[in-house]
Amino acid sequence: MDERQLNTLKTLLEKPKKIAVIPHRNPDGDAMGSTLALQFFLEKLGHSVTVISPNSFPHFLDWLPKSENVVLFDQENKKANQLLEQADIIFTLDFNSFSRTGKEMQSVLEKINTTFIMIDHHQQPDDYAEFMFNKTNTSSTCELVYEFIHLLNKPNLIDKAIATCLYAGVMTDTGSFRFPSTSSNTHRMIAHLIDEGADNSLIHQNIFDTKSPDQLKLLGTALNNLHILKEYQTAYISLSQQELDEHHYKKGDTEGIVNYGLSLQGIIFAVIFIENQEEEIIKISFRSKGDFDVNTFARENFNGGGHKNAAGGRSFKSLHHTISDFEELLKKYSKQLKIKA
């Protein structure tokens, strides 16, 4: 966004508007934290704002302020459609392609003729937005919302609710401030958020220390399924639908499991394959350390994308076939995977 666009945007936001704010489908901490924080900020500017999520969010985020007011597109379709059609402005946060909202919401968004504003940190954005605030080297969309608030010269509007939501999103997207995308700017921002009332220890507990016994046992099953391909510095984990059912799986229960692969010495590429019989897909998460680019890997092979060191994708084959395809594919990438991180 250049100076001229910023001024146009400032003028646009001078008068009260009807605004919808949208995270991606299956929203994570960054998607929920950034949309709610932006909602509170825009409300303070006098706008009428609704967060519309394509579908539900995991239970470990249900303590976020006002998360109970989020409209779920798949469950409250009529209301969501009405709000979208009436919106003067639609902000899309933490994604950069309508396809990331799911097929049905995508087709609605494609037909709507309004002003779209993108705030996002993923690579290769589509060009649906009139205003784009996207930086791929930033830790999280929450950090970009924080910058956006500063661009509008309104940091004094950051209150406890905004600080809490932004803190939660940055924390979850940076693996608690340890991924390389965590910068000194991130830490300066975090210090400010704590000053404004974000309770860092409580936020951490709300997100990480609210597990059920089933969830911990599911982690045990996942770790038992760990498969190491030492020659490719790769580790993968799989969870079948049956294993999920046995542990009464709820959305969010598998969050973070993929990272255990990367905690092994000598592993630079970690993957988890999760069977989803209802959607007839295998949901895949990719994580890497160093130069191995999982965004490209996910785009080229598994209908996905994301960032260099964290990406997602899906396969339409069986779990067994997906894994054998994956093992076969590694040969093609052997040069990159044998380079020490």
State the burial class of residue 177 (Cβ atoms within 10 Å of its Cβ: 0-12, 13-18, 19+).
middle
Closest distance between ligand 5GP and the C-beta of residue 40, in Å?
Answer: 22
Query: What is the Cα–Cα distance from 242 to 247, expressed in whole angstroms?
Result: 9
Among 282, 305, 308, 309, binds ligand 5GP (CB under 6 A): 305
Distance, in Å, from the CA atom of 79 to the CA atom of 301, rounded to the nearest integer, reads 37
Find the binder of Mn ion among 30, 143, 255, 275 (CB under 5 A): 30
Burial of 262: CB neighbours in 10 Å, binned 0-12, 13-18, 19+:
middle
Q: For residues 81 and 134, which CB has a smaller minimum distance to Mn ion in the complex? A: 134
Helices (H), 182-293: 184-195, 200-208, 213-224, 241-246, 259-262
Contact by Cβ (8 Å): 89, 114: yes
Q: Does 306 bind ligand 5GP (CB under 6 A)?
A: yes
Q: Is 304 in the site for ligand 5GP (CB under 6 A)?
A: yes
Distance CA 306, CA 339 (A): 22
Tell me whether residue 233 or residue 305 sits nearer to Mn ion (CB atom): 305
Is residue 29 involved in binding ligand 5GP (CB under 6 A)? no
From CA 61, how far away is CA 28, in angstroms rounded? 8
Largest CA distance in the chain: 60
Residue 27 contacts ligand 5GP per CB under 6 A: no
Tell me which residues in 170-229 interact with ligand 5GP (CB under 6 A): none
Whether 304 and 298 have beta carbons less than 8 Å apart is answered as yes
Q: Is there binding between residue 53 and ligand 5GP (CB under 6 A)?
A: no
In sequence order, the β-bridge partners of residue 72 are: 53
Closer to Mn ion by CB, 141 or 322: give it: 141
Query: Which of ligand 5GP, Mn ion, none interacts with 122 (beta carbon under 5 to 8 A by kind)?
Result: ligand 5GP
Angle at 271 between CA 268 and CA 272, to 5 degrees: 155
Q: Assess 312 for contact with ligand 5GP (CB under 6 A).
A: yes
CA dist 235 and 200 (Å) reads 32
Q: Which of residues 24 and 247 has its CB atom nearest to ligand 5GP in the complex?
A: 24
37 vs 274 by CB, closer to ligand 5GP: 274
- Tell me the closest approach of the beta carbon of residue 33 to Mn ion, in angstroms: 9
Q: Is 54 in the site for ligand 5GP (CB under 6 A)?
A: no
Which 82-111 positions form the footprint of ligand 5GP (CB under 6 A)?
100
Q: How far is the CB of 165 from ligand 5GP (least distance, A)?
A: 17
Rounded to a whole number of angstroms, the minimum distance from the CB of residue 8 to ligand 5GP is: 28
Burial class (CB in 10 A: 0-12, 13-18, 19+), 73: buried
The Cα 77–Cα 329 span in angstroms is 40
304 binds, among Mn ion, ligand 5GP, none (CB under 5 to 8 A by kind): ligand 5GP
Residue 258 contacts residue 287 (beta carbons within 8 Å): yes
Residue 285 interacts, among ligand 5GP, Mn ion, none and using kind-specific CB cut-offs from 5 to 8 Å, with ligand 5GP
310 binds, among ligand 5GP, Mn ion, none (CB under 5 to 8 A by kind): ligand 5GP
Minimum CB separation of residue 86 from Mn ion in Å reads 28
Asked if 285 touches ligand 5GP (CB under 6 A), the answer is: yes
Nearest by Cα to 53 from 78, 33, 26: 26
* Contacts with 191 (C-beta within 8 Å, 6 or more apart), sequence order: none
Site string for ligand 5GP, 106-125 (x = CB under 6 A): ----------------x---
Residue 140 DSSP symbol: -
Binding residues (CB under 6 A) for ligand 5GP: these are 24, 100, 122, 285, 304-307, 310-313
Binding residues (CB under 5 A) for Mn ion: these are 30, 94, 140-141, 173
